[in-house]
Structure 1
Amino acid sequence: MDHDEPGWPLVDDFFGAEAAGRSTPTERRYVRVRGRLTHYLDTAELGAGLGSQQATLLSAEREFHDRGAFWLLFGPDELVSVLPGFLLAPWLPAGLGESRTQISLVSRLLKHLVRHQLLDRSLTGGTYRDAEAAVGKARIDLAARSAAQGPGVGAREIPARFRRQPGPRW
C-alpha cells in the first residue's frame, strides 16, 4: 500500500476525524475496522459491486500489487459500490460491539463522501442508495442476532462473590 495513492488519504482523514476525542477502546475499534476495510479492498472478491469487467481488471492489478490495487484503479464512486459487501460475512465481525462499530462507520463514511462532495451523484445515485439500504439491512440483521443471543451468561446469574450471604442470626 502506497500512502500517496489517492484513496488512502481519504480513508485516513475519515478515520482520523472519527477517532478524534474518542476513548482509547473506541479508537482501537476504529483502527480494527480500518484494517478490515483495507484488507477487504486488497483481497475480497468485489465483482458483485464493481461488475465482472472491473473485477477482472482489479484481479489483474492485484497480481502486480499486493496492496492498494483498488485505489490505483478506482476512487470514491467505486468504493460506494463495494461497501455493501463489507457489511456481510466474513467481513462483518462475530462480536456485536465490533459489528455495530463497523456498520456505524460505514454509514458515516457514506455521509462523509457526500458531505465533502467526493462522489459523482449522477453516476452513483442508485449505488449510494443501495449502500444505504445495505447499512439499514445490516443494522436489522445485527438487532436480530443480538436478540437471538439474548443476555450473556453472566447477566443471567449473579456471581457468588456478589451475592448477599446470610449473616449470623441472633
Structure 2
Amino acid sequence: MTGSPSVDKLLRMFFLRYNLSQKPVTVDRCNRIELHLRHFLDLCGEDYLASEQRQLLELERQFQPHGSAFARLMYAGELLAALPEFLAPEWLMNHGVDRKVQISHSDRLVRWLCGERLVDFRAHRMDLLHFRSAHDQALRVQP
C-alpha cells in the first residue's frame, strides 16, 4: 500500500493525538500501552502476514536488526489483522486499569483507522469482525 503511513507512523500519530490534552498519569499509562503494543507486534505481528511479507521482514531485520521491522514496513491493514490477538488473555496487561485502557485504546485505534479511511472496510471486513469479537471477549476477562 504505497503512500500510506507505516505502522510506526500510525502509532505515533494515534498516541500523540490522544495524549495531547491528557494528564501526566494518563500519558504515562498510554505510553505503557503503546510500548506493550509495539512489543506484541515485534513478537507476533508476522504471524498475520503473507509469506512474501514475512520474507520482506526477514530481509529488513538482516539490514536493520534494531527496532521493529513490522512497524517500519507494514501498514494499517496488517496492524488491523494483528490487533485481535493483542486482546487475547495472554496479552492483556495485568493491572486492571491498564487492561481497561488497553482494551479501550485498541478499540479507539481501530475506529481511528477506519474513520481516517486507512483501511478498506470491504477488504478487511473479516479482520474487523475478528477484532470486534476479540474486543467483546476481552471485556469479559476478569483481572
TM-score range, shorter chain: 0.7 to 0.9
Q: 1:160 is matched with which residue?
A: none
Once the 2 structures are TM-superposed, how far is the Cα of residue 129 of structure 1 from its aligned partner? 1.5
**Aligned 8 A contact 1:49 1:85 in 2:** no
RCO (CA 8 Å, sep 6+): is it higher in 1 or 2? 2
Contact 1:58 1:69 in 2 (8 A): yes
Gaps of 5+ in 2: none
Give CA deviations for 1:17-68 in whole Å, capped at 9, x if unaligned.
2122222211110011111112222x31335433566445434533433313
Moved over 6 A (4+): none
Unaligned runs of 5+ in 1: 147-170
Q: Say whether 1:86 aligns with 2:92.
A: no
For residues 132 and 23 of structure 1, do their structure 2 counterparts lie closer, same or farther at Cα, with a shift above 3 Å needed?
Answer: same
In the alignment, which residue of structure 1 is the partner of 2:48? 49
What are the Cα deviations for residues 83-111 of structure 1, in whole angstroms up to 9, with x where unaligned? Answer: 11211254321111111111110000000
Larger displacement relative to structure 2 (14-23 or 50-59): 50-59
- Give the paired residue count: 138
> Aligned equivalents of 2:58 and 2:125: distance in 1?
26
Q: RMSD of aligned C-alpha atoms?
A: 2.1
Q: 1:22 to 1:139 in 2, by over 3 A?
A: same
Larger Rg: 1
- Kept in 1, the 8 Å contact 2:87–2:103? The answer is yes
Question: In structure 2, do the counterparts of structure 1 residues 56 and 30 end up closer, same or farther at CA, with 3 Å as the change threshold?
Answer: same
Aligned equivalent of 1:16: 16
